Amino acid sequence: MSLWLYRFLLILAFPAIAYSGWKRCHRAKKQAKKDSDYAPIPHCFAARFGWSRQPFQQGGIWVHAVSVGETRSIFPLLTELKKAYPDLPITVTNGSTQGAQQALRFAPVPIQHQMIPYDYPSAVQRFLKKLQPRLVIMVETEIWPNLYQACWDQQIPLILANARIKEKSFYAYQKWGGKLIANALNQTRLIASQFALDTEHMQALGAHPARVKQLGNLKFDIDVPTNLTTEMQQWRQTYGLENKFIWVAASTHEKEEALMLQAHQQLLQHQPNALLILVPRHTDRFIEVAQLLSEKNIPFVSRSKDDLIQADTQVYLADTIGELMKWFAASDAAFIGGSLVPFGGHNILEPAALKKPVLSGQYHKNLQALYDSFKQDDAILISKDENELAQQLIQLAESPEWRMQKAEDAYACFKKQAGALPKLMHEIGQLLPPTE
């Protein structure tokens, strides 16, 4: 595909793109009005076309992360960028409103923020003119040909950091991308890939080998708060949960919560005081999941209502934003959702970093290389269905020694792969020397 054909197709798709963007921004605006914890996203829809009226400091570093997981992964990077370049403004953009919530509410350093403009030449040009960045860092699979072309034309160095390509995306790029994707990849100054498979994918799509360096996965450089484990131990003591087996089902998707509840009911037959902390992936499904629990007559309490955990409570519905690390720290084991239904999996590193046994379903192709590294070290428990998951949970609950061993395995696999962040900062320093 050529750049001109890509632009023509974008024009044809304009009504659908605009409607989708308006709908998501409208939903986010309604959510901010009814939930005081939900940060308003300034000029959400207008920003998608480069029309944001926000004032921006110019000449800084622009970092883009599309959604929740990617945004959380850049927090240590933002901290290091601020240390190295204290006088430069840092701008963060997101492609999803959920990612924007993470950036607006939990960024570890002061940032400028807006939604990323859609990849229309005029929208991209307006944003670059307003921002005039000295460096652009795109995270993971964010390959936008018009944006890359504009940065190349204006001699703005661009890094594709923590680069990876899902298998499905790789085959789609191979089939339809052709010269368009190859040109975009070669308009970067650096492609910092996560794993060897990602390096192979980038080069197979046309990236010049000299541009690709395998630096590792930024998500391994998690900054775990030093007092988090102690804080959550106190939480367990406050609610009298010291002797309960607590497991987290995190980032669950539609139809997956029902499978978690089935597994939990089997666990309760062996561990009657077990507690499930259920964390749906998307905030707009919190009410839906609460209704599911009510319909099944399952005793539950909600985090958002500050309900007290009672003796008969079976499920704690964690229906808030930004507290997932807390629930991992409070748990005895962690299941990562999007994997028992055919979505493709989510990040397994946070519970591993907290030294918890990590469980997953069989659908994890979105993060295949990451999962493979854990499988090779026998550092993750994979289940094909809710019944196998239940048996794994029962074994973890009934054998503290095995539970501790699986926690150590997960942590060791996580720890040996850390170190991508200092490597990336070194590369950034080659393009943008740190201030003295």
Catalytic residue numbers, as ranges: 70
| Residues 95, 100: Cα–Cα separation, whole Å | 8
Chain center to CA of 17: 23
Q: H helices of 107-252, where?
A: 121-131, 145-153, 167-172, 179-185, 196-204, 228-238
Q: H helices of 244-385, where?
A: 256-270, 286-295, 324-330, 349-353, 368-376
| Residues 374, 325: Cα–Cα separation, whole Å | 20
- Strands 300-302, 315-317: pairing is parallel
CA-CA-CA-CA dihedral for 109, 188, 120, 95, to nearest 10: -40
Least Cα distance to 361 among 377, 346, 376 occurs for: 346
Q: Is 54 helix (H, G, I), strand (E, B) or coil?
A: coil
Which letter does DSSP use for residue 41 in this model? -
- Encoding tokens for residue 164? 């990876």
Using alpha carbons only, what angle is made at residue 77 by residues 421 and 252, rounded to the nearest 5 degrees?
95
- Encoding tokens for residue 195? 């794993």
| Residues 420, 164: Cα–Cα separation, whole Å | 14
Backbone angles phi, psi at 212, to 5 degrees: -105, 125
Q: What is the DSSP string of 285-324?
A: GHHHHHHHHHHTT--EEETTTTPPPPTT--EEE--SSS-H
Q: Is 150 helix (H, G, I), strand (E, B) or coil?
A: helix
* Burial class of 268 by CB neighbour count within 10 A (0 to 12, 13 to 18, 19+): middle
User: Are 150 and 124 within 8 A, CB to CB?
Assistant: yes
Q: Is 358 helix (H, G, I), strand (E, B) or coil?
A: strand
